[in-house]
Chain A
């Protein structure tokens, strides 16, 4: 691999990794607090992309307004899902998993009659290419990195610097103790659902102008997000960030050097090896 190719594939890997991080953050946040795997995450990613298609591409709203609106709409949807499903089954992990799986199937199946059978496409928001360190990279790809970075920083500030974030961390550590200290667990869980869904929507909204849109488009990113949260450690936000970056770079650099299939295999081999030596993932911890 030439140095130019290495630079180009590294920048592309950082861009892909940024999306992986956003997807994985929502998943790991919900797992850390409620111990549920949100199977609907891929479907929410898809809805985020379609929200951009309609609000920005079809109705002509500015992209950033559409982006924020997509996050708000799907964040609200997440809150409603918490109220109508998670709270209804009294936080039962298995019933919630089954219900979220059913929600995914419903959203994907409803996608074709609602959005149409043909792939959709969102026109580019950022045009052209830029010379970065001597190689050409599309501005669209480059812009993903700061936008995703801003969301990650924002989430970290929210969790570490606000009262609500402290409540989330308290629930993650001990739900009962947090409730005894006056934390309204229902409200905070609802907020975690809302943030998780909004982050998945943000990933979809960022990717919408780059890829094509179809109701099944969330499956691959969901698979990647699962790999990342296992790699980084279930429930760990720093783990999701590091895992996302590692997987993005593997996907890009290894795929460029050896081909897409070896890269796909290598990501699994890497996880298996890591879990053999550190079963809790990079930043995970064993439950007491």
Chain B
């Protein structure tokens, strides 16, 4: 064998042996993994898919500009996403996998019941969590690194004041919600608030998330003659069936969802005419501010199809990036400290984490919340309101 051949082979062999250790470690160190546990299939997928997509798009845009700079070093952002199907056991399994197997220190989990079930692993492992979820006690001093990144019922119920002022003929409110942490807390907060405003509670019903035949539940509710039915915390698929079946049973009043729901998915199931007049928080199709229009164009370019739910589901990514920039650290605790003081732009304006006077800890996102009404089949922005607490 000629000497140059021998040198070449030796070099290649050495490279092959060393490759898994040296350059690989260098590359891995430059990546920030951000975990997402969300429903990517099933009735709650209309929430989960834009949750994942919105985070990925924001991270892609930062990566295309060279990445996120921390202490003079550029890091690429990477999403590690798992489908929990809005099943608690799957949610626990996916979060454990993110923490233990993927080594993720920052996560965003969707679904109140799932986030509650994951409190222990998140707190014990010192993981920073930016959930999109409703559950009692989620925003609390006992969850110091959990920063709720979507307006919750204590914030969104403020819309009822607007209804009281603009639609005084509405007197009797019925509620229907999933039979879990999310539903119980949402209904508790909403009914307490509307009762204080002078509304009568005409019915309060819970349903299993697997339920498809709402007729018996609706018959109970409709017997109490409500003017409006709140479907707070219910996923789009269930809301569609509730509206369709309530209309078939003769209900003529309005529906309201001050959680978040994609009214186009609802209309596909319930029928466009049946959804008319529905009030909804966090889902706007028109008119869109310039900033949201730009987001719409970028989202549509990447995913081929626009999803308005993605607008408010950008919050975890925007908040995370802003806090990391401020903290100039990858330590979840330091990022958490920065999160409490950082002010950042989301797609609706200036946002920050606050609500200490209500929750006892300033870990709830605060920004001017959008509320719409379905008019001619389109979710039309009617008002933007700030939460009652700051």
Contact = CB atoms under 8 A, between A and B. Distances in A.
Interface stretch (A145-153, A208-216, A268-276): A208-216
B248 A212 contact: no
Contacts of A98: none
A137 B271 CA distance: 17
Interface residues of A, number: 35
Given A136-B249, A136-B250, A261-B179, A216 B42 contact: yes
Given A129-B248, A252-B215, A2 B223 contact: yes
A141 to B, nearest CB: 8
Contacts of B207: 260
Given A129-B248, A214-B43, A220 B210 contact: yes
A82 interface: no
The 10 closest A-B pairs by CB, nearest first: A255-B216, A138-B248, A211-B212, A119-B237, A256-B216, A117-B41, A256-B219, A121-B269, A136-B250, A117-B45
Interface in B54-91: none
Contacts of B225: none
Contacts of B205: 259-260
Contacts of A9: 215-216, 219
Contacts of B350: none
B192 interface: no
A112 B210 contact: no
A133 interface: no
Contacts of B17: none
B213 interface: yes
A140 B236 CA distance: 22
25 contacts: A8-B219, A12-B216, A12-B219, A117-B41, A117-B45, A117-B49, A118-B46, A119-B43, A119-B237, A121-B269, A211-B241, A212-B43, A212-B212, A212-B237, A212-B241, A216-B42, A217-B212, A220-B210, A251-B216, A252-B215, A252-B216, A260-B206, A260-B207, A260-B216, A263-B216
Contacts of A214: 41-43, 237
Q: Which of B210, B213, B237, B245 has most A Cβ within 10 Å?
A: B213
Interface in A212-231: 212, 214-217, 219-220
Contacts of B219: 5, 8-9, 12, 256
B322 interface: no
Nearest to B43: A119
Interface in A112-143: 112, 117-119, 121, 124, 129, 136-138, 140-141
A37 interface: no
A167 interface: no
Nearest to A13: B216
B212 A121 contact: no
A30 interface: no
A211 to B, nearest CB: 4
A16 interface: yes
B10 interface: no
Nearest to B216: A255
Interface in A238-288: 251-253, 255-256, 259-261, 263
B213 A16 contact: yes
A136 B248 CA distance: 8
Most chain B beta carbons < 10 A, residue from A117, A214, A251 = A117
Contacts of B240: 119, 121, 212
Given A138-B248, A252-B216, A219 B208 contact: no
A253 B219 CA distance: 10
B220 interface: yes
A253 B217 CA distance: 10
A144 B240 CA distance: 21
Interface in A192-212: 211-212
Contact of A117 (B40, B211, B213): B40
A20 to B, nearest CB: 11
B270 to A, nearest CB: 9
Nearest to B240: A212
Interface string B194-229: 000000000001111011110111011001000000
Nearest to B270: A121
A157 B205 CA distance: 44
A256 B216 CA distance: 4
B292 interface: no
A211 B269 CA distance: 8
Interface in B86-105: none
B218 to A, nearest CB: 9
B341 interface: no
A260 B208 contact: yes
Contacts of B46: 118
A251 B219 CA distance: 13
Nearest to A258: B220
Contacts of B210: 216, 219-220
B32 interface: no
B268 interface: yes
Nearest to A124: B271
B374 to A, nearest CB: 17
B265 A118 contact: yes
A218 to B, nearest CB: 11
Contacts of A140: 248
Q: Counting chain B CB atoms within 10 Å of each CB, which of A5, A119, A129, A220 scores highest?
A: A119
Given A117-B45, A211-B212, A260 B217 contact: yes
